Amino acid sequence: MPPTLIPRETLFGNPTFTRPGLSPDGRWLAYIAPLDGVLNVWLRAAEGGDAEPLTNDTGRGIRAYAWTYDREHVLYVQDRDGDENWHVYAVRITDRAVRDLTPADGVQAHLVAVERNTPDRILVALNQRDPALHDVYEVTLSTGESQVALENPGDALAFVADASLQVRCVAAQTADGGWDIRLRGPEDGEWKSVHTVGPEDEAGPLSFSEDGAGLYIVTSKDANAKQVALLDAASGSLRVLAGREDVDCGDVVFHPVSRELQAVSFDRHRTEWEVLDESLRADLEALKAVNDGDLGIGSRTDDDSRWIVEYTRDIGSVGYYLYHRTEKRAEFLFSARPELDRYTLAPMSAVDIRSRDGLTLPSYLTLPVGSNGKNLPMVLNVHGGPWARDQWGYDPEAQWFANRGYACLQVNFRSSEGFGKAFTHAGDREWGRKMLDDLIDAVDWAVERGIADPARVAIFGGSYGGYAVLCGLAFQPRVFCCGVDIVGPSNLLTFLNSIPPYWEVMRKMLDDRVGRAVEDEDMLKERSPLFHVENIVKPLLIAQGANDPRVPQAESDQIVAAMESSGKPVEYMVFEDEGHGFARPENRLKFYAAAEAFLAKYLGGRSE
C-alpha cells in the first residue's frame, strides 16, 4: 500500500525554522521563520525563552542575515520581486528599526566584510558607478554614511578584507578566462599578482590570517581537484593544507577569532570532514554520535563555547542543534520542517553511472516507498548551473516525486562542479551534446536495470536544467514522454547576448564553456531548442519569472510562441513578481500544483 500523500504545502511551503545563528557574544540566537506567511528574522535569548520577530518583510521574504559586532544590529539583504538588485539592510535589535544602507535604485549590493576590530563599520560592494563592476564602499552602521574604500580596477569579481577592514585582496577574471589573485600591503600599496591560474583551473580567496601575513585560498593549480592552501602574502609561496584528487574541497571551518583553518569537508556522495586542528577532533567525534546525518558547522561564539550545528538527512528535514563544547553536549533546537515527521519519506541512494565515453557520473536515486523498484514511471530531475551539483540529503522535489509514485534520478553530468576540473571541463562547449548524452545514458541505465518504464520517463529541471528539458524534448524525442522547464534558456544566442552587465567580466569563461555568440553562431543555433521546435512532439510545461535577470522572460516567450504557431502542446505559466526561481510560497505552490497535475496526466502517478 503506498504511503500517505504528503501535502504540497508541507514540501514546498515555507520552512518552519531555518538558518539559526548565534551572536558573536553568545547573547542572542536568531533564525528565519514565517511571519504572516513571509520569511523573516526572529530573535530570542540564546539560553532560551520566547522568540520575537526582528524584521517585518512583507514581500518575497528574507533568506539570509549576518551579525554585526556592534551588538546592536543584524544585517540582511533583499531585492525587489526577484530582480537581484540586492540592498543591504540593518535592523536595530532594541527597537526593530530598519535602515537601507544601500538605497540607490537599480544597483546591486553585496556584503563584503564584517569585522570585530571595526564594530561600527562594514564593507559592501555596489555596481553604482558602472553596472558591470562592483566597487567597495565602507559604511558606518551608526550613521549610515558611506565612502568608497576601493574602486574596482576593471576586472575584479571578489574582494577580501583583512582583520582591520582593509581590502587587501581581489580576485579577477583574466583575459584568457583564468583567475588572478592580487594582494597589496596594509597601507594601500601597489597591487601584486600572487597566484594566477589558466582557464583550465579555478582559484579564489577565502580569508586572511589574523595577522594578515597569510591568505587562505582555494585552488586547483597543479592538481585535478580544488584544494585549500595558505599563501604567504610577502613571498607568494603556497602551502597546500587539504586536498583530494577525486573531489573538490567543500566547506571550510575557521576559528571565530584566531582565523586558523581547522577543518575542511569533502563530498563525493556523502560529506566527510578532514580535521586540521587537533583541538576539534574530539568535538567532531562527539557530534558524529549525535545524529547519522551529514554534519554541518554553523556559527560559533567568540569564546568558542557554543556552536550551531546541523545534520542533513535524506528521510527528514535538516535538524539544528546547539552544541555546548565544554560538556560535549548537543541540545536539539528544531528541525526545518517538523511536520514532515508525520510522513514516511523515501531514502536517497548514491549510485555511479557510466557514460558512453567512460566517465563516472555520481548520481542519486530515490524510489517510491513500498514499491518493488521495478518498471516505474521516472522523473529525471536535472540540476541548474550547470556549474553546480546534486547532493545527498533531504530534497523536497525528490520526495515529492517518490511520494507521487515516481522514481527520481538526479545525475551529476559532466560540467557539474565538485568532482575535479577534468570532470567539469569535460562539459566545455558540450551544451546540448555530451552533457545531454550523459542524461540519456542515465535514463538508459535505469531502463536496462528494470527500474524505469521506458514509455514513462519525464524530464524536469530549472535554469540550465530547464534548458536540458528543452534539449531532451527537441533532440531526444524518443526518450521522454513529457517535460517541465523552469526558467530555462531556449536560444543560446539570445541568452548569451542578454546576460546581466555584472556578468560581463566572466564573458571569456562563458565563451570557453558555452560558446562565442558571434564566432560560434552556427554551433549555438544548432544547440538551441528554439530552432528545433518541429522535433518537439511530447507535452511541455514551462514556468518563468517575469523579472529574471539571468534567463529573461523572452527566452520562454519565444519558444512558447514558436510552439503555439506550430500547433505544439505547451502550457505556460508566468509569475509577474518573481525572478530566477519562485520565492513566494503562493507562487511555488501554484507552480507545483500545476506540475503535479501535468505529470500525473502523462506519467500516471498520484496527485493531491
Of the residues 70, 438, 485, 548, only one is catalytic, namely 548
CB atoms within 10 A of CB 178: 20
Give the residue among 22, 516, 549, 82 at the shortest CA–CA distance from 300.
22
CA–CA–CA angle 274, 312, 227 (5° rounding): 30
Q: Are 277 and 252 in contact (CB under 8 A)?
A: no
C-alpha cell at 438: 550523459
CA distance 485 to 55: 34
Strand 73-78 relative to strand 87-92, pairing: antiparallel
List all residues 6 or more positions away from 200 whose beta carbon is below 8 Å from its beta carbon: 178, 421, 425
C-alpha cell at 80: 525587489
Q: Which phi and psi angles does 446 have, rounded to 5°?
A: -70, -35
Asked if 73 is an active-site residue, the reply is no
Is 299 in the active site? Answer: no
- Up-side HSE of residue 151: CA atoms within 13 Å toward CB? 2
CB 488 within 8 A of CB 553: no
Active site residue 395: no
What is the pairing mode between strands 482-486 and 452-462? parallel
Pairing of strands 261-267, 271-275: antiparallel
**Sequence-separated (6 or more) residues with CB below 8 Å from residue 149:** 123, 136, 137, 138, 167
Give CA–CA dist 126/103, Å, rounded. 11
DSSP tally for the chain: helices H, then strands E: 11, 35
CA distance 255 to 232: 19
Catalytic residue among 87, 110, 195, 580: 580
Helix (H, G, I), strand (E, B) or coil at 218: strand
Q: Which residues contact 500 (CB under 8 A, 6 or more apart)?
A: 84, 549, 550
312-345: b or e for each residue (b if 16 or more CB lie within 10 Å)?
A: bbbbbbbbbbbbebeeeebeebbbbbebbeebeb
| Cα distance between residue 435 and residue 353, in whole Å | 14
Q: Determine which one of 146, 363, 463, 556 is catalytic.
A: 463
- Write out the catalytic residue numbers: 463, 548, 580
